[in-house]
Amino acid sequence: MAGIVQPSRRLSPLLDERRVVLCVGSGGVGKTTTTAALGLAAARRGKRVLCLTIDPARRLAQSLGLEWSANEAREVEPEMLAAVGVPPRGSLTVMRVDTKLTFDSLVKELAPDAERRDRILNNVLYRYISTSLAGTQEYMAMEKLHSLRDDPRWDLVLLDTPPTAHALDFLDAPERLVGAIDSPAIRWFVQAFQSSGKLSFNLLAKSTATLLKGLGKLTGGGFLEQVAAFIAEMNALFGGWKKRADAVAAALRGPDVAYVLVTTPDPLAIREVRYFAERLLGERMRVDAFVVNRKNPSFPNEPTHAAEVLEALGLVTSADMVQKCAEAQKDAARLAKLDRLHLLSLDGIVEETGAPLVSVPTFASDVYDLEALRQIGDILAP
Ligand SMILES: Nc1ncnc2c1ncn2[C@@H]1O[C@H](COP(=O)(O)OP(=O)(O)OP(=O)(O)O)[C@@H](O)[C@H]1O
Ligand SMILES: [Mg+2]
């Protein structure tokens, strides 16, 4: 596995040559950390960098001096950046993508007139879909990325993907969301909705009509009408939306987009990344890099009897301490060995993709300041 890595280059070519970098992986593996570290590494190369995030890690944002409102770009103070080696022409901007605000602006852009725009924005169901429907968050992140990728203010745009249970949700989000609006079930529902604005129960199978009437009672007056009205409105926008979603989906597959697959040595996270890589290959897309974060460090050259060495140096004094040191060393070796065993299952796909794999060790404490990000950036893209 290590033989595939070109130690001097690692992820550096991605920062130098691509326009968009997406960090994907399952929940909690270190996507936000990796995005921020790569962003800083690119800024240190003199790039003007934009990091898009849906879910900013609060402590990280605080330590970068960022208190910001949604969908607004905030620049990290140049003095703070200069202290970690960013030259004056480099910059690091962070933008928190708000799903609802992004959806709102999409509706505003696509609606043919103000009246229809307001009818959608004020619909109860819209409020649900624009905030809570599965896939909306992923789609809106893509939407935002799409609208900013060619912005001349930035040389490189990084996307920190939201904590989806399945990294694959990302690739499918545009089609899935449009599919939900254009599904046979929805079309059928709209048909049952008369132009009078009332549901025509005559058009429905008896059992369905009964069910919907019951549902109508349960959900309160007008709810089903609101649902149908909303769907009809969305369908009116649908032509424009579908085209847009297709453009977003196509842009995701463009040659200037890099996919960095992040995992930990955890078998479930590894499995997720393997699926994602296989999917990318299946769609004839490239996998650009693997990052194994939070790897337990192994010290192959360390003497087996480190505790005795420490004792000889006078660094540990009591027999009890010697014993504890020896145990700690054994534990660390066991954990490192377990990581290596788990990571064996990545070998095949890493070889197949030809992408570099870089390991980042577990730091002694959480990573949230610029100095720690710089260190990780140096490992990822020296
Ligand atoms: N190499 C590391 N050593 C120590 N702590 C780390 C390391 N990488 C990440 N962390 C910490 O682990 C936590 C999770 O990392 P991060 O927020 O980057 O994960 P994520 O994949 O973005 O999570 P989510 O899916 O919830 O968005 C953070 O507190 C971060 O500081
Ligand atoms: Mg995150």
pLDDT given at position 327: 83
Architecture of domain 2-296+308-380: 3-Layer(aba) Sandwich (3.40)
List helix spans (H) across the chain: 12-17, 31-44, 58-63, 78-83, 99-110, 114-121, 124-132, 136-148, 169-181, 184-191, 206-219, 223-252, 267-282, 306-312, 319-343, 347-353, 370-380
Contact 169, 275 (CB under 8 A): no
The alpha carbon of 128 and the centre of ligand 1 are apart by a number of angstroms equal to 29
Within 13 A of 196's CA, how many CA atoms are on the CB side? 5
**pLDDT profile of the chain (382 residues), mean per 10:** 55 94 91 94 97 80 76 89 96 89 86 88 79 74 84 94 62 67 61 56 60 60 67 69 76 87 95 91 89 86 65 74 79 90 95 94 89 95 92
31 CB under 6 A from ligand 1?
yes
User: What's the gap in Å between 302 CA and the centre of ligand 1?
Assistant: 28
What are the extents of the domains in the chain?
2-296+308-380
Say yes or no: CB of residue 91 within 6 Å of ligand 1: no
- Atom of ligand 1 at shortest range from CA of 360: 1
Separation between Cα atoms, residue 350 and residue 1, nearest integer Å = 7
Q: Encoding tokens for residue 296? A: 């337990």
| Interval between CA 42 and ligand 1 midpoint (Å) | 20
d(CA 174, CA 179): 8
H or E element: which one contains 75?
Answer: strand 73-75
Does the beta carbon of 350 lie inside 6 Å of ligand 1?
no
> Measured in angstroms, how far is the CA atom of residue 257 from the centroid of ligand 1?
23
pLDDT given for residue 86 in this prediction: 97
Is the shortest distance between the CB of 295 and ligand 1 below 6 Å?
no
pLDDT above 90 covers what percent of the chain?
36
Pocket test for ligand 1, best of 366, 368, 379 (most atoms within 8 A of CB): 366
Enter the pTM of the model. Answer: 0.82
